[in-house]
């Protein structure tokens, strides 16, 4: 890769920021001009294909298919020593950027509440919907993640959030990318399909060399969920897709142990994401909008070189976000600490909360309605007065 003014600007920026930048969510790290402008230069041939599709918010597979059909672009990238494995990453980050898509941050209270909440198997796939067709979901506030990383958290295995990008395709007739996977999933190539492209991003990990490029080279895990039957069980749909992915990895020679580890890791993130999307389907009112970076980013667009360096350092410390969920929540495991119980029936205990379906109407007019059933205390009357803490269940 040739060293250009873009590379020098990126290096100067990365050397100027504190390591706290490591905990910033990926969309913010990628919004710094010195970082994304360098990528635009390094992968210029690919961006000629990326930008029209990203502006139209088309699915990732359409870009991959067009790349495969344009071998001349692939050769140009290889001549530049560009990493072809980054193309998935570049497309999804660019689609988010061009759509000026929102970033939702899960409050600490909501994160704890969802850990105490299950998902029943009767929920139709149609409830697996993002609040916008292009957005990023941050799994916890930056401040919380920074504290954990500073306390010794392992960044290389620390999912910070995910891009989620939804596209409706009237058919899959031109799909060539992952053709075998689609066949294994028994997809009908002539049917209308709702595609969710999901890319989990991890907090960047230092390599011990003192090189700050680790802020740019973030690890990610990409998953595509294709939904043709909106009434299909959400849990069965996710389970089937993960099984197909595991089988494809085994065919590629990945060890069974590694495949199992990958599957468990991805499954946990998908389940957590599913619960978050179900919550958002029920409650988008409980949110706080923070616009800490908006004015600063506008100044950056027209800044001269001298002011730009200073503004970029300031921009590395703030970002815009929509914080969702309650401010606080007491986990189930903490609610009975120090409690004493009376004698008689089964001792008081918590019944876990869950997302489920309640049917409304009668006969052919019956429709499923998503509900969250709050956790509850069973046999609360047996608790000895004054021995247990009084918590509000929400």
What does the block give as tokens for 12?
């100067």
Residue 25's closest CA among 202, 184, 256, 214? 202
How do residues 175-227 score in pLDDT, each as one tens digit? Answer: 766 677 777 788 888 899 999 999 999 988 776 666 788 788 778 888 999 99
Count CB atoms within 10 A of the CB of residue 360. Answer: 10
Residue pair 224/60 in contact by the 8 Å Cβ criterion: yes
CB burial of residue 361 (10 Å; 0-12, 13-18, 19+) = exposed
Q: For residues 162 and 153, which has the higher predicted lDDT (pLDDT)? A: 162
Residue 323's closest CA among 36, 110, 51, 47? 110
- Examine the pLDDT at 348 and tell me if it is beyond 70: no
Q: Measured between alpha carbons, how far is 102 from 210 in angstroms, rounded to an integer? A: 33
Tokens 């029936």, located at residue: 345
- Examine the pLDDT at 340 and tell me if it is beyond 80: no
How do residues 352-382 score in pLDDT, each as one tens digit? Answer: 788 988 888 877 778 888 998 887 776 665 5
Residue 386 has φ and ψ, to the nearest 5°, of 85, -10
| Range with the poorest average pLDDT among 12-16, 151-155, 248-252, 281-285 | 151-155
Strand partners of residue 225 = 196
Residue 138's closest CA among 29, 281, 296, 283? 29
DSSP 383: B
How do residues 54-88 score in pLDDT, each as one tens digit? Answer: 999 999 999 998 998 999 999 999 998 888 889 99
pLDDT band at 386 (very low <50, low <70, confident <90, very high): very low
| 239-254: average pLDDT | 84
pLDDT for position 379: 64
What pTM does this model have?
0.88
Query: What are the CA-CA distances from residue 59 to residues 66, 134, 161, 282 (Å)?
Result: 12, 11, 20, 26
pLDDT band at 389 (very low <50, low <70, confident <90, very high): very low
């Amino acid at each position: 890769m040739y060293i250009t003014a873009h590379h020098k600007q990126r290096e100067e920026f990365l050397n100027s920021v504190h390591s706290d930048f490591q905990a910033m969510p990926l969309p913010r790290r990628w919004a710094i001009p010195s970082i994304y402008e360098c990528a635009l230069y390094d992968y210029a041939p690919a961006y000629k294909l990326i930008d029209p599709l990203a502006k139209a918010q088309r699915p990732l597979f359409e870009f991959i298919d067009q790349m495969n059909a344009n071998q001349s672009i692939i050769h140009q990238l290889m001549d530049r020593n560009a990493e072809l494995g980054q193309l998935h990453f570049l497309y999804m980050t660019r689609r988010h950027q061009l759509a000026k898509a929102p970033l939702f941050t899960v409050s600490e209270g909501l994160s704890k509440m969802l850990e105490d909440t299950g998902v029943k198997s009767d929920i139709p796939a149609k409830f697996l919907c993002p609040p916008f067709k292009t957005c990023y979901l941050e799994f916890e506030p930056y401040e919380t993640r920074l504290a954990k990383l500073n306390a010794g958290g392992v960044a290389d295995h620390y999912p910070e959030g995910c891009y989620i990008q939804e596209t409706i395709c009237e058919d899959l007739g031109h799909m060539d990318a992952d053709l075998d996977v689609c066949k294994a999933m028994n997809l009908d190539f002539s049917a209308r399909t709702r595609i969710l492209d999901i890319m989990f991003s991890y907090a960047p990990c230092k390599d011990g060399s003192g090189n700050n490029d680790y802020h740019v080279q973030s690890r990610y895990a990409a998953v595509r969920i294709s939904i043709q039957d909106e009434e299909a069980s959400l849990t069965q749909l996710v389970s089937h897709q993960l099984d197909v992915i595991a089988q494809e990895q085994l065919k590629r020679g990945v060890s069974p142990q590694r495949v199992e580890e990958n599957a468990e890791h991805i499954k946990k993130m998908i389940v957590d994401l599913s619960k978050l999307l179900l919550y958002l389907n029920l409650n988008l009112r409980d949110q706080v909008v923070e616009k800490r970076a908006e004015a600063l980013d506008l100044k950056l667009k027209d800044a001269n070189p001298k002011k730009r360096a200073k503004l970029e350092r300031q921009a590395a410390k703030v970002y815009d976000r929509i914080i969702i969920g309650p401010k606080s929540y007491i986990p189930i495991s903490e609610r009975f600490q120090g409690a004493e119980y009376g004698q008689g029936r089964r001792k008081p205990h918590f019944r876990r909360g869950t997302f489920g379906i309640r049917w409304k109407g009668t006969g052919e007019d019956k429709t499923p309605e998503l509900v969250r059933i709050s956790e509850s205390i069973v046999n609360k009357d047996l608790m000895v007065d004054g021995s247990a803490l009084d918590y509000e269940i929400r």
